[in-house]
Structure 1
Amino acid sequence: MAEQATEPTGSGNKWLGLIVGVVLVLLGSTVFKDLQVPIPGLDLNLGKSAAMAGITILLFPLIRMFYTDPLKNAINERNSQLEETFTEAEELRQRMDEMRGEYEQRLSAAEAAAREQIQAQIREAQALRDQLRAEAVQQAEQFKAKAIADIEQEKQRILNDLRVHVVNLTLQATEKLVGESVDSERSRKLIDEFIEQVEVAG
């Protein structure tokens, strides 16, 4: 706002200087061309002096018009561009900070989810291991019980076969000693009872 307020004054001074310079040049080259100022010891031509003064006055607004003002405008434009660049850089930095914060939050969430998933898999593996171990123990107990039952059953079968064989041998031996047949139900029962008593005593 201040620059806009002072611009008309500067422009008026510029044009005033141009007018004064042109007038002095014209007066010095026409009206005062041959006018000499009687100063002792100094040869002063008023026309040439006025023309030189006019040229000098003309140079200042011309220099300002064609050099100083464009340079000032270029500097101001460059400053504006730098300010815009700094503003854009600051906005970009803020945006990058926001993106970095969002990335860190997402990374933390992903790490937490990964840890939770790993822990869940570990718990699942431990539960499966415990289940397999319990099933293995149960299966081993079942195999053991079945083996014991099979052994006991086989033992009873062998004992029964052995008992029958012993009874038969005893009857045969008794027949040879007595000289007559003793193959009766009562004799077999007596021998069986004797064998059972021997087994119990053993």
Structure 2
Amino acid sequence: MRRLWPGWLLCMITAGLFAYVAFIQVPPINALLGDMRIPDQLPFGYDLEGARTVFAAFRSDHAVAQATGRTSASEAYVSLHASYDLVFPPLLTASLAFCGFAALFRPSRPGQAPRPAAVGFGLVLALAFTYLACDFIENAVADAMFGPKALALEFNQSFVFVLRVLTTGKYVTLSLAFALIIALWTWRLTAARRSEAPGSGG
């Protein structure tokens, strides 16, 4: 496992960045919106009425912010997408891929991994990159809906369904990827115990 330390370091950096965004960057935006959650936080996104309500909250706060000269929730939201949320998705994608690979990496027993495990790893990769695409496109759509420029226009309800599909897709692909990684590690640990058991022939 020593050979894998760069990957574990990547996972720790990813977890740290997630914690920073979730507990430091996002709560002030929620507070400006009257404790409403930003679309990124809802596993199934906002429905039409919910999206309309959060749009009104963004618009109301933006008007107050312009009058007082502070940063609005909308500006902070777009800035988040252009900074930390631009870095986090690729890091998480790489971390998922690494965790799947690490479950198959067994230097003490070189050779090809069993076909089901290899297929599982392939699915982890597919899900990780699908998540990445969903997250980036979701951010772009959310900026188009709730960014400062959008607040000067009428609420665009045609984006609601698209955003909801992308947000749901993001969480579903992540959940499936994590489930597969857990399954791969369960397989690895079970196989290791069997090989170490007395009379296993290993």
* TM score, norm. by length of structure 2: 0.29
User: Highest CA radius of gyration, 1 or 2?
Assistant: 1
TM-score normalised by length of structure 1: 0.29
Please state which structure has a larger fraction of its residues in helix. Answer: 1
